[in-house]
Amino acid sequence: MGQIEDLRLFTIIVEQGSISRAADTINIAKSAVSRRLSLLEQRYGARLINREPGNWEITATGHELYQRVSNVVNDVDEIESDFTQATQTLAGPLTVSLPREFGLSFLNPSLMIFKARHPEIQLMVDFDDHKVDLSRDNYDFAIRITPDVGSDIVAKRIGSSEHKVFASPSYLARKGTPTSLSELKGHDLLQFGPSRRSNWMFKNISGKAQTFEFQPSLNSNSGMFLLEATLTGLGIARLPDFICQPSIAAGTVIPILTDLVTPEFGIYLVHSEGRRLNRRMRLFAEQMETACLAQRHQFSC
C-alpha cells in the first residue's frame, strides 16, 4: 500500500473511532487495519492512538497528523474523482441550503437547468430561511443573503439585493402617492416579520440616515405573501427586488420613494472551511454565479 492509502486509512480510523468500525467501513480484516496502523506509527516513530484494553484515545501527535492529512486525502480524492469523471457522466450527491423565497422565486429556473444538464447528480435542495450548520448538517453549499456573512465560513459574493418600497397602481389611485417618509403616515403599511411596531431605514441622496417608525396593518414572514397583498391593493410594502422584478416589468407594482436608498444585502455562496470543492460543487457554483449575473443585468435595465 502507498503512503496516501495508509494516511487515508488513518483518517478513517480516527473518524470511525475504532479499528473494528474502520475495518467494517472499508471491508477489510480488523487485523489488517491494526497492522497498517502499527506500521504507520513505526514510520513516524510516534504513538498515534492509545489503544490498550478499555482505552481508545488519539494522541496529540495523532491529532496533529489527522488535522494535516485529512485535507490532503480529500484533495487527492477530489483530483481522482474529477479526472476519472472528466470524460464520464458526472454523478454523486450534492446537498444545498437556499433561502426559501429567493430559491423558489428566483433560483428555481437555474436549479432546473442545472439538474437537466447533470441528471446523474443527486441534487438535494433544502429551502429554509434558518441558518444551517454547514459542517454538522453536511451541506455542500448554502446561499445567504445578508449585510455581513461572518468569518466562520468560506464565502464568495455572487450578487446583491436591494429592498425597495412598492405599491399597486390601484392602491395609489385610491390613497395617493407618498413622495416623502412623512407622507407615509396614514397609509396601510405591510411588514415582513412579526413586530407590532416596526421601522424602515433609508438614506437620502446626500447619504443622511432616515428612519420611519410605524405600526403595520399586516405582518407576514413571507415576502411572496406580502407581494400578493401589495398586488391586491392592501397597502405599501418594502420588498426585495428579486421578488418584485416580474411585477415591476408587468406594471402591476410601482416603486415609490425612489430617491431613498435602502441597505444593500450581499448574496453569498458559502461552504464550511473544511469542505473542499469537488467538480460537482464547482459546476453548481458556476450555475449560481451565472444566475446572479443575469439578475444584476435584469435589475439594471
Residue 72, pLDDT > 90, answer no
DSSP labels, 50-118? E--TT--EE-HHHHHHHHHHHHHHHHHHHHHHHHHHTTS---EEEEEEE-HHHIIIIIHHHHHHHHHH-
Are 229 and 271 within one domain?
yes
- Residue 19 has which C-alpha cell? 479499528
Are 51 and 110 within one domain?
no
Residue 188, pLDDT > 90, answer yes
Are 59 and 99 within one domain?
no
Which H or E element spans position 300?
helix 279-300
Q: Which of 64, 85, 106 is the last residue of a domain?
A: 85
List pLDDT tens digits, range 149-179. Answer: 776 678 899 988 888 999 999 999 999 999 9
pLDDT for residue 236: 96
Could you say which DSSP state residue 262 is in? Answer: P
Q: Which of 55, 85, 115 is the last residue of a domain?
A: 85
**Residue 86 binned pLDDT confidence (cut-offs 50, 70, 90):** low
Distance (Å, whole) CA 49 – CA 13: 10
Q: Which domain does 136 fall in, by range?
A: 91-301
Mean pLDDT over each residue of the chain, to the nearest integer:
85
Distance (Å, whole) CA 66 – CA 72: 10
pLDDT for residue 301: 37
Give residue 194's region: left, alpha or beta (phi > 0; psi -120 to 50). Answer: alpha
- Report, as an integer, the average pLDDT of 68-92: 68
* Residue that wins the pLDDT comparison between 216 and 105: 216
Distance (Å, whole) CA 238 – CA 191: 7
- Residue 124 has which C-alpha cell? 438535494
- Residue 166 has which C-alpha cell? 412598492
- Report, as an integer, the average pLDDT of 69-95: 70
List pLDDT tens digits, range 25-42. Answer: 888 888 888 899 898 889
Are 216 and 189 contacting, i.e. CB atoms less than 8 angstroms apart?
yes
CA angle 91, 94, 98 (to 5 degrees): 150
Are 23 and 123 within one domain?
no
Give residue 152's region: left, alpha or beta (phi > 0; psi -120 to 50). Answer: alpha
Residue 82, pLDDT > 70, answer no
pLDDT for residue 253: 95
Smallest Cα–Cα separation from 262: which of 301, 212, 193?
212
Are 99 and 78 within one domain?
no
Q: Which of 62, 85, 108 is the last residue of a domain?
A: 85
Domain count, the chain: 2
> Within 166-251, where are the H helices?
169-175, 223-231, 241-250
Are 40 and 187 within one domain?
no
Distance (Å, whole) CA 15 – CA 103: 34
